[in-house]
Amino acid sequence: MAELTYRDAVAAAIAQEMARDPSVVFLGEDIAAAGGVFKATVGLLDRFGPTRVRDTPISEQALIGAAMGAAMTGLKPIAEIMFSDFLAVCWDIIANQIAKTRYMTNGQVTMPLVIRTANGAGSRFGAQHSQSLENWAMTVPGLKVVAPATPADVVGLMAAAVRDPDPVLFFEHKSLYATKGPVPEGEWVDQLGKAKVLRIGDDVTIVALAAMVPKALAAADRLAEQHGVTATVVDVRSLVPLDTQTILREVARTGRLVTVEENPRLCGWGAEIASIASQELFYDLDGPILRVTTPHVPLPAADNLEDHVIPSVERIVREVLQAYD
């Protein structure tokens, strides 16, 4: 196992797939010479050259349009949108063209395209640069949606996304870039649509995604140490496809479900999981489903206010105890 930061795992994942397959190309704003605004793509230009690693103009519509055309004509592009908030600028191309081309051509044209983007709060960038937008992508048929929480998942899920024939939106959380973790040596490929059970407990199942995963694990530790409540923690990892089998199995075993979401509460991904669990496991549930979320507000830039609205370890523990007292 190699020890990598989440940031370095991004570059390692892209390099692995570019070295393996010459049809993989990488394009985006400041991703080449500058190594990315978050320094997650350092070294790729030197290794693969300007033909395959291309800086684009500051135009999300132009770079996503170019990536779509490249995918339609035989390449496997990885395109970077600097902040996930900027997906709004090119959302027509993604939602109305990229997501639907394979369906509308009856499979004659595939779309092997990965759009990776920096997502989420915690960096004090304010309302227009801090949103978690996975639930936007979930609502569009034809898109696959991935949000890794660890360096190993960055590499493995990126490899799976690049090799997939369908378009994948790959959400990297900004606040995780500096975190470290083990990554398997050699070529590492994971599987889309598979959740991971990270901790086993008997009293409650906590389901989390991306930056909420380490918080859920810390909350589970505190619940066990201070309150005698043992929690199972499930990292969703992939929202589309969604691994309902793993999630429902763990919820059925504990009888209680808590989702921890950075998304605004209204129509968050946890609402979909709660709906599925209530339909499939009605007689297995021992209490109401709890959703710990960000409130339905624009994200503030002030440190104390941003920390207040984003789910914290303390809040997860408090709400679990209040709900299941």
Q: Are 29 and 63 in contact (CB under 8 A)?
A: yes
CA distance linking residue 226 with residue 211, whole number of Å: 23
CA distance linking residue 86 with residue 71, whole number of Å: 21
Tokens of 123: 């960096």
CA distance linking residue 229 with residue 154, whole number of Å: 31
Tokens of 195: 């959740």
Tokens of 108: 């004659």
Which amino acid does the sequence have at 148? Answer: P
Q: What is the distance of C-alpha 14 from the center of its chain?
A: 16
Q: Are 191 and 243 in contact (CB under 8 A)?
A: no
CA distance linking residue 306 with residue 182, whole number of Å: 30
Q: One of 17, 29, 80, 129 is an active-site residue; which one?
A: 129
For 259-319, the DSSP string reads EEEEEESTT-HHHHHHHHHHHHSTTT-SS--EEEEE-SSPPP-SHHHHHHHS--HHHHHHH
60 is catalytic: yes
Tokens of 77: 């592009």
Which amino acid does the sequence have at 150? Answer: T
CA distance linking residue 205 with residue 258, whole number of Å: 6
Q: One of 60, 80, 134, 306 is an active-site residue; which one?
A: 60
- Minimal CA–CA distance to 157: which of 184, 139, 180? 184
Helix, strand, coil % over all residues of the chain, rounded to 5: 40, 20, 40
Catalytic residues: 60, 129
